[in-house]
């Protein structure tokens, strides 16, 4: 089953493949290094993920796409971003938001606060 949920990064990678395919994985890594500053393992990890999703295929070191660019964009529906990052950020990182989960009750409460604030103004 093909999954068309791609994050912006994965889309960018797919764009590179679509532009240069068919391309040896080694050359692909070189291009990614030049354009995105990626190290080899990073390129291969993303490649593996896209192969798992059925968008690309690595045939004996040559990378080709299984879905054409037009096909992909025509079928793209409202994306639900997949939160693959299960862990939480380390405590010593300066972030926008803390790592605590919100209950649905909390979400409603906070949304209500914001809405009433907007109304008052």
Binding mask 5-24 for other proteins (x = CB under 8 A): -xxxxx-x------------
Q: Which of 31, 36, 51, 62 binds other proteins (CB under 8 A)?
A: 36
Tokens of 50: 């896209």
Residue 110 binds other proteins (CB under 8 A): yes
> What is the C-alpha separation between 69 and 18, in angstroms, rounded?
7
Instruction: For CA atoms 116, 118, 119, 121, give the dihedral sign.
Output: positive
Q: Which of 14, 38, 53, 72 binds other proteins (CB under 8 A)?
A: 38
Provide the minimum distance between the beta carbon of 66 and other proteins in the complex, in angstroms, as a whole number. 20
Residue 59, burial from CB neighbour count under 10 angstroms (0-12, 13-18, 19+): exposed
Binding region for other proteins (CB under 8 A) out of 22-30, 54-62, 66-74, 79-87: 79-87
The residues near 69 (Cβ < 8 Å, ≥ 6 apart) are 14, 15, 18
Residue 1 binds other proteins (CB under 8 A): no
> What is the C-alpha separation between 67 and 63, in angstroms, rounded?
12
Instruction: State the residues that interact with other proteins by CB under 8 A.
Output: 6-10, 12, 36-39, 41-42, 45-46, 79-85, 87, 89-98, 100-107, 109-111, 113-114, 117-118, 121
């Amino acid at each position: 089953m093909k999954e068309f949920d791609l994050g912006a990064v994965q889309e960018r990678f797919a764009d590179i493949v679509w532009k240069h395919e068919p391309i040896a994985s080694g050359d692909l890594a070189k291009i990614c290094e030049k354009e995105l500053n990626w190290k080899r393992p990073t390129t291969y990890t993303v490649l593996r993920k896209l192969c798992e999703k059925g968008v690309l295929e690595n045939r004996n070191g040559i990378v080709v796409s299984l879905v054409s660019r037009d096909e992909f964009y025509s079928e793209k529906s409202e994306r639900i971003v997949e939160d693959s990052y299960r862990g939480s950020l380390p405590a010593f990182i300066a972030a926008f938001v803390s790592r605590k989960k919100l209950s649905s009750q909390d979400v409603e409460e906070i949304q209500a606060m914001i809405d009433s604030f907007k109304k008052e103004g």
